[in-house]
A and B are shown apart, each in its own frame.
Chain A
């Protein structure tokens, strides 16, 4: 058993930290006012730096740094400014292209490697995300093609992505063979397909954007169905949501905790009260200790979940545990940071308020706290051991990576 980062992983963190120190931290004033031009330029710089290539193996043109390498980099970028981790959508693009293979992979992979393609999962519908059986978006066969109709919402940066993986219904409720889970199919959809329309873009309290996209008679070729195929759409979508979504979100939450710790310690050293720095006050010390404990625990859970995936193991439960814990810890840590900063903590110019606003924005992505607990409980009740329960990926069905 080893808890040591590899040298390659340490270098990955250093590269991300240097990027953050030059390209993000000195420009936080532009990010605070949501300077769109600057944010787009920054996203291009992140793409050129190649952060999204970590989870792509060497033989496919990536750096092969794996999930751990990816998580440590995204943690550092998030600590600098949580909204500016743009690699997630490029990682989704890779996972979707790989899962679909064929013409989709041929078309998108060269662009993905250059950082010029991004994608999003089109899952949520207005009536709910996890209630799959009541989805209303459908596809019907028309010769070799399929015709999609419906609407998907809460798609992070959905107005910017070039393509996506959509989960919808293809089954007939009256046919027992295509009912329930067997009614769900995943397709690749592209933003330039006729009938694909970004209906609205909404802004969260932390400034990140989500889109609602409608599909009106969108014609999709049969080879855009994501394997295993018709009526088998849940597993590829879920795996993408786990491997990219939950791992990435946990990394971003780690960034919120790390950033809260860093800014609080710096502030506690500089702020003088009663003639001495406030880190000498027991109340402040204990808050810092609580934040550090949360950072250590969140890292341990997240890195381990990432490491398991790098070993080819199924870590879906570990990812759920990490995401749940990191969400709670990030909210706690950023609130501690606000308390340590006093009045400054809620001011725009200081980071604690940003972490505190951003962490809750990550609750829903990849599943709410309640969904995480549901899956964790199901696993526990089924007898999985939380430490030794990981199975090789190939034994747990369809795995993309």
Chain B
């Protein structure tokens, strides 16, 4: 059986344990993330897990790729701790402010540079943006087929695989030829915990940092200026609750409560 080279695209997202510390800057309409640790997104962990399982069953290697500012190395390193063989960080000021299309373009350019790639894995959507667009866009830039909402993969030959993807009321089984881009759902697997060898691998395995000069790209398609979509505004929902004290004998309070619930259409009229 042929050994496979899997690439896993990962994204730094604010660590969920610190979400209560994140706020919205009303002037810039951006999240105040300073001091908030980043983490691998939950679906990124599923994507990485699937690639690692394929490596363990078929041989080959796993490369993780991310686009982000300096500091993104932290999640790439954690992917190595979990078992990835090497990592690539695409980082350049020219990439900043990218929407999903410009992001996918840069990721695809990095994957092209890696060369002989059989499988590209992503989480179906990110924890913060949740667009679900990057996977299919990467596939378009690479000229590969793509599958989304994948909950099961079976390698059936050197160049083909069967996959199950989720639809609203069921699932569909498909067979595709590699290379292919696969965006996974959380049901696909249970991500592993790090083994203590990970601390050793992190010292031995490499994170390559590639700037705009290391990849073949059209500068007009990068960053904020290369992004066809822009965030026009962000609205936060304010939740306000009003407390009201009912007084009287228990039977009176019960009657008052029922009446109020009927007025609010929670209970039907008597």
A, B bound: yes
Number of interface residues of B (CB under 8 A): 12
Query: Within A13-40, which residues are at the interface with B (CB < 8 Å)?
Result: 14-15, 18-19, 22-23
Asked if B237 CB lies within 8 Å of chain A CBs, one says no
Counted as pairs of residues, one from A and one from B, with CB atoms less than 8 Å apart, the total is: 51
Task: Tell whether, in the assembled complex, residue B202 and residue A50 are in contact, meaning their CB atoms are under 8 Å apart.
Answer: no
B194 at the interface (CB under 8 A from A): yes
Interface string of B139-150 (1 = CB under 8 A from A): 000000000000
The contact of B199 among A12, A22, A58, by CB within 8 Å, is A12
Question: Interface code B90-121, partner A: CB below 8 Å = 1, 0 otherwise?
Answer: 00000000000000000000000000000000
Contact A50 B203 (CB under 8 A): no
CB–CB A15/B198 < 8 A: yes
A11 and B195 form a contact (CB under 8 A):
no
Say yes or no: A65-B193 contact (C-beta < 8 A), given A11-B81, A15-B81: no
Q: A11-B81, A15-B81 are in contact. Are A69 and B199 (CB under 8 A)?
A: yes
Report the bound CA distance from A8 to B195 in whole Å: 13
Interface residue tally on A, bucketed by range: 20 to 34
Contacting pair B196 A73 (CB below 8 A): yes
* Of the residues A14, A23, A49, contact of B195 by C-beta under 8 Å: A49
The answer to whether A18 and B193 touch (CB under 8 A), given A11-B81, A11-B198, is yes
**A271 within 8 Å of B (CB atoms):** no
- B196 neighbours in A (Cβ, 8 Å): 12, 15, 49-51, 53-54, 63, 65, 73
Residues of A within 8 A of B (CB): 7-9, 11-12, 14-15, 18-19, 22-23, 48-51, 53-54, 58, 63-65, 69, 73
Q: Provided the pairs A15-B81, A23-B193, A49-B193 are in contact, do residues A64 and B200 lie with their beta carbons within 8 angstroms?
A: yes
* Candidate in B199, B200, B202 with the most chain A CB atoms within 10 angstroms: B199
Are A8 and B203 closer than 8 Å at their CB atoms? Answer: yes
Q: List 9 A-B contacts (CB under 8 A).
A: A7-B203, A8-B199, A11-B81, A14-B194, A19-B194, A49-B196, A58-B200, A63-B197, A69-B199
Q: Bound complex: CA of A8 vs CA of B198, how far in Å?
A: 9
In the assembled complex, the Cα of A65 lies from the Cα of B201 at a distance in Å of: 12
Q: Is the CB of B193 within 8 A of A8?
A: no
